[in-house]
Amino acid sequence: MSVSRAEHSSVYAGLEVKGLSVRLAGEARPVLHDLDVALEPGHAIGVSGRSGSGKTTLIHAIAGLVPWLRPAEISGDLGLDGEPFDDLDPGQRAHLLATCLDRPDAQLFLPTVAQEMEAARRLHGDSEYMARAIDALGVDRLPSGRITELSSGQRQRVALAAALAGCPRPVLLDEPTAHLDADGVRELSEVLADGRGLGGSFLINEQAGWRLRGVEEWAELTDGRVVSCAQPEEPLLQAPAPASERVVLAARGLTVERGSQRLLAGVNFELHEGEVVLLTGANGAGKSTLAQVLCGLRRTSAGTVARSGRTTLMLPSAELQLFSGSVADEVAAAGARHEESARVLRRHRLDHLAARAPWTLSRGERQRLVHAALDLLRPEVMVVDEPGQGLDPEDLRAFINLVHRRAEKGRGYLVISHRRELAAAAHRHLHISDGKLVEVEP
């Protein structure tokens, strides 16, 4: 297939995957086995499945990142516009289809948002649809400083706009709502609908499928193959047991800044023993920055924070908190005695991955591993930032059940997330609005 043909075509034929099998280096069994996917113009297919089932591997195999960046045995046929592209490297495939990875930081290389958008224009060409995506996702309204100063949700908006610029070429999206607030998810749904109207097609890995509208077809990845399924439903979560009156974390008169931008002022906050509090807010509102201040990892320009015991923070990027050569070593480094390691790994559904290097895990598996390691530190307060990333509904329920068990023993939890369904599992729901903390009525 010639690049020029795709660049000048206004209507694209489907993306076709036939008999795709992928066995990653060091693995006894293939993660994908004889898998077929047909993505027609104007269609969007959502892919769900347990964390670790191979959804990201599917995206990487189509985009060429497997086996170019991670050794693997791969077989099967990949076709676009009726012609094969199996022999093209990732750079060549980037002219024919667009990809947004599950980690925005992994594909943002330039200092500013404007430079990233200009690079997308050079790769895919300027179009009215790209301008629509930039406007709908609010990319043109982001701070003009360096990308490193943006929140994770703002960076995801930039990465999504860059990938969507490739429409009507097929677009591959891996966990596109992971860092988006409710407005961002709605805006993304509208942009996808516009793209489908232009004949664009989208293959979307999404664990929280109930958040995303306009995806007409859903499939579940299980045992290495995809099978048709209904749109994932929002999980039903249980309420926690009553909390104590004892305060374990308190903030008074906090002013929170990121770079030169003031995010919050006059913040007063208390977390009680055994209490679970959900904190939500728009992308860039300051949720993660506030979490770092509360945990003592960032200074406040005004106000005080009092902690009654050990306070730990689970970052939104799990890979930043994984340091050991294997899953078992990570648990051991966190203080698990030899006789309890197997129990800890089994509790977090990681026992079959004990010998694996953490960087080879899926996003959801890395999330579970970090939570297991921090849980072993037995903190009095745990702040968890976007814990639902990569977690399928069953794993999300298991996480909440563990939070509730630890809360019943006295641990306080501050859960930061865009997933408002988590409010059902919390004692209180706080929302950042106009630089203030506001309590949301149930």
pLDDT of 112 strictly over 90: yes
pLDDT of 233 strictly over 80: yes
The mean pLDDT value for 224-236 works out to: 93
Smallest CA-to-CA distance from 53 within 210, 176, 209, 207 is with: 207
pLDDT-derived band at 1, boundaries 50, 70, 90: very low
pLDDT digits (tens, 9 = 90+) for 400-412: 999 999 999 999 9
Higher model confidence: residue 228 or residue 3? Answer: 228
Q: What pTM does this model have? A: 0.90
The mean pLDDT value for 376-401 works out to: 93
Which residues are paired to 423 by β-bridges? none
Helix 128-136 vs helix 152-164: angle between axes, to the nearest 10 degrees?
170
- Using the Cα atoms of residue 354, residue 355, residue 358 and residue 364 in order, give the sign of their dihedral: negative
pLDDT digits (tens, 9 = 90+) for 32-60: 999 999 999 999 999 999 998 999 999 99
At 28 the pLDDT is 85
- For domain 3-229, the CATH architecture is 3-Layer(aba) Sandwich (3.40)
pLDDT-derived band at 371, boundaries 50, 70, 90: very high
pLDDT of 189 strictly over 50: yes
Higher model confidence: residue 369 or residue 7? Answer: 369
At 390 the pLDDT is 84
| One CATH from 3.30.950.10, 3.30.9.10, 3.40.50.300, 3.40.50.720 for 247-439 | 3.40.50.300
pLDDT digits (tens, 9 = 90+) for 206-216: 999 999 988 98
Strands across the sheet with 44-48, in order? 98-100, 171-174, 202-205, 44-48, 217-222, 225-229
At 13 the pLDDT is 67
At 145 the pLDDT is 80
CB 397 within 8 A of CB 233: no
Question: Tokens standing for 214?
Answer: 């306009």
Provide CATH 3.40.50.300 ranges for the chain. 3-229, 247-439
CB 245 within 8 A of CB 215: no
Which residues are paired to 416 by β-bridges? 279, 385
pLDDT digits (tens, 9 = 90+) for 238-249: 999 999 999 999
pLDDT of 277 strictly over 70: yes
The mean pLDDT value for 172-191 works out to: 95
pLDDT of 156 strictly over 90: yes
